[in-house]
Amino acid sequence: MTSQQQNNRRKEVELAALCKAIQTLNSSLNLTETLNSVMNSLIQLTEAERGCLMLRNDDGNLETRATGHSNRADENDMDMQLSHTVVQKTIETKQPILTTNAQLDSRFDKQASVVGYRLRSIVCVPLCVRDKVIGALYLDNRLKDGAFSESDIPTLIAFANQAAAAIENAHLFEAAHKERELNEALGRASAIVNSTLNIDEVLDHILEQVERVVPGDTFNIMLIEKQIAKIVRWRGNEGNQPPENTRDIPIARYPNFEKMVTTKKPVVVPNTAMDPNWVSENEEEWRFSYVAAPICIADQVVGFLNVNGYRPKQFDAADAKRLMIFAHHAATALENANLYQRLHQHADDLTRAVAKLKELDQLKNQFIQNVSHELRTPLAIIHGYATLLDDGELGELQPEQKTPVKTIRRHTKALTETVEDITLIHSLETVPLNRQPVRLDKLIHKAVRPFEEMAKKNQITLSLETPSRLPPIEGCPDHLQHVINNLLSNAFKFTSAGGSVTIKLEQRDNYVLIHTTDTGIGIPPEQRTRIFERFYQVDGSTRRRYGGMGLGLALVKEATEAHGGTVAVESEVGKGSTFTVALPIASQADMK
């Protein structure tokens, strides 16, 4: 076989391996198992002895997520004693690094890891997602010089790009899964609050739902009476047996309890051993992390919702936020139970007055029916109470409470409007496009009409620039209409009075381009890579007049890409943004 034939054969093998890796990465949701499989494929494809895939964690430190080894390697020697210098340099420069013999390479021959581990052939390439380095792919051979060459780099980069994409998709899937879990758990908690006035049953169900969405090990609810807290319901102990510490707990002895009573905000203790406010007792030494939220009724803390962890750094601010929502449910349940008890006591006091008793009983039944009706769904209960709080119907809010309440109210209203976007995004993943020739100028004229009144009301100049003749594209009219609507909605969302929004069509080569330009607040550079992620929002402050859950631009991107197009953004903070969607022109075959 000639040298050229050998090179061609090698390229065929590399291409086949790459295709197999892509198929593997796209066909499994078990990312760790998939990455290990890909690493083993790389070992077989190259002359590597060992390899690993390393990712940055939330703290910026590197963690090994996948490993591979050849038949020559000792499987027990897979602690991956590698050159961290090579890995760090690859990440810092965003460039591959290759050395045919690290022992003789002046860049690395003085490094302790290279000398101590007797490393020879090394190659390392970065893992990047939208120009952001998230980790590195590392291969070495301790037995052979020149095990790798420059010709290996393109193949390794291709593998790295596919692995990075799979990791990003897995993260998006995990975030969506957590969001679904939270919504379902909140729905069930709301349903039980609405279905019974048995407070023990309600609190037990709330703890059950908290366990689904907060990664704790033991859970409990404390109620306060005369500055003394006591555990009344619990979950997660062995066999759900009562915890050892069920005695009276003076709030003044525990700074974290006092802090929640004062601030009415949740607390997170990442590491109890390092927290100066943590009060440790012998039976509590197993708790290494802690998160809790106050249960408030009428601006008074009546209890605590507590979650304990066996490991340090088990909880974060997101867990505290989730816990606070469930604490609101617990407060509602307690308040309903208290209201019921007061009504019942009042009825007992009037048992000798039959007529009055019947009237009170009828009022009681009507009250329960009204509560049941108003709290029928999670959306109704959250929005109803948020509205009452925001309007001051339940008493004046503390200054620090007003913005969160307005945010809750705005987002619950936006949930209904988001359903259509969620459905469309789902259909993009599961239903083939109903393609047909589409004239974008007609869709744009249709989309602009509802925004003309909005522009006039908000003193925004709306401009439309469409050439008289543009070739049609081939796609789904409904999906493309949503793309245009969301582009306009996004532009108006961030544009203040006196500003302008312009939508323009043009043909460039074999594409029709939709430009949407606004004079809004702009997008910081560090956020432009994330604005097309599902549920991501650039600005969640009260400046946002139209709400939303961060699905609009995600829909734009996914629908555009489903049509074979692309979407790009240019922006300057304080001056505005331009979004450009490019869609391929329909071919003659598509027109038939």
Read off the pTM: 0.38
Neighbours of 514 (CB within 10 A): 25
Phi/psi for 309 (5° steps) reads -125, 145
Instruction: Calculate the dihedral angle through the C-alpha atoms of 218, 221, 226, 227, rounding to the nearest 10 degrees.
Output: 40
Q: Does 151 share its domain with 269?
A: no
Q: Does 140 share its domain with 207?
A: no
Which residues are within 8 A (CB) of 587 and not within 5 positions of it... i.e. 6 or more apart? Answer: 474
| Confidence at residue 350, expressed as pLDDT on a 0 to 100 scale | 60
Give the CATH number for residue 68: 3.30.450.40
**Do residues 471 and 512 lie in contact, with contact meaning Cβ atoms separated by under 8 Å?**
yes
Question: What does the H/E/C string look like for 34-70?
Answer: HHHHHHHHHHHHCCCCEEEEEEECCCCCEEEEEEEEC
Whether residue 392 lies inside any domain: the answer is no
165-222 pLDDT, tens digit per residue, is 877 777 776 666 666 766 666 666 666 655 666 778 888 888 888 888 888 899 999 9
Least confident residue range of 14-28, 46-60, 125-139, 473-487: 14-28
Q: Does 158 share its domain with 201?
A: no
Which residues are within 8 A (CB) of 507 and not within 5 positions of it... i.e. 6 or more apart? Answer: 467, 470, 471, 513, 585
Whether residue 354 lies inside any domain: the answer is no
Tell which of 349, 381, 399 closes a domain. 349
Q: Does 166 share its domain with 278?
A: no
513-541: average pLDDT: 84
Whether residue 437 lies inside any domain: the answer is yes
Whether residue 190 lies inside any domain: the answer is no
Whether residue 515 lies inside any domain: the answer is yes
Q: Does 203 share its domain with 103?
A: no
Q: Does 336 share its domain with 482?
A: no
Whether residue 125 lies inside any domain: the answer is yes
Task: Please report how many Cα atoms fall inside a 13 Å half-sphere around the Cα of residue 134, on the Cβ side.
Answer: 18
Q: Does 169 share its domain with 22?
A: yes
| Closest C-alpha to 446, from 490, 477, 491, 492 | 477
Higher pLDDT, 562 or 336: 562
Give the CATH number for residue 524: 3.30.565.10
Q: Does 20 share its domain with 165?
A: yes
411-431 pLDDT, tens digit per residue, is 776 564 565 666 677 667 667
Range of the domain at 247: 196-349
Whether residue 363 lies inside any domain: the answer is no
- Tally of residues, the chain: 592
Mean confidence (pLDDT) of the chain:
79
3-state SS assignment for residue 507: strand
Tell which of 349, 380, 403 closes a domain. 349
Q: Does 17 share its domain with 98?
A: yes
Q: Does 66 share its domain with 169?
A: yes
Cα first-last separation, the chain: 49
The number of folded domains in the chain is 3
How far is 184 from 177, CA to CA, in rounded Å?
11
Which helix (H) or strand (E) is 465 found in, with range?
A: strand 461-465
3-state SS assignment for residue 395: coil
Tell which of 349, 371, 390 closes a domain. 349
Higher pLDDT, 58 or 6: 58
Q: Does 129 share its domain with 211?
A: no
Q: Does 101 share its domain with 202?
A: no
Least confident residue range of 39-43, 197-201, 501-505, 526-530: 197-201
Token couple for 214? 């907060």
pLDDT band at 388 (very low <50, low <70, confident <90, very high): confident
291-331 pLDDT, tens digit per residue, is 999 999 888 899 999 999 998 888 988 889 889 888 888 88
Whether residue 419 lies inside any domain: the answer is no
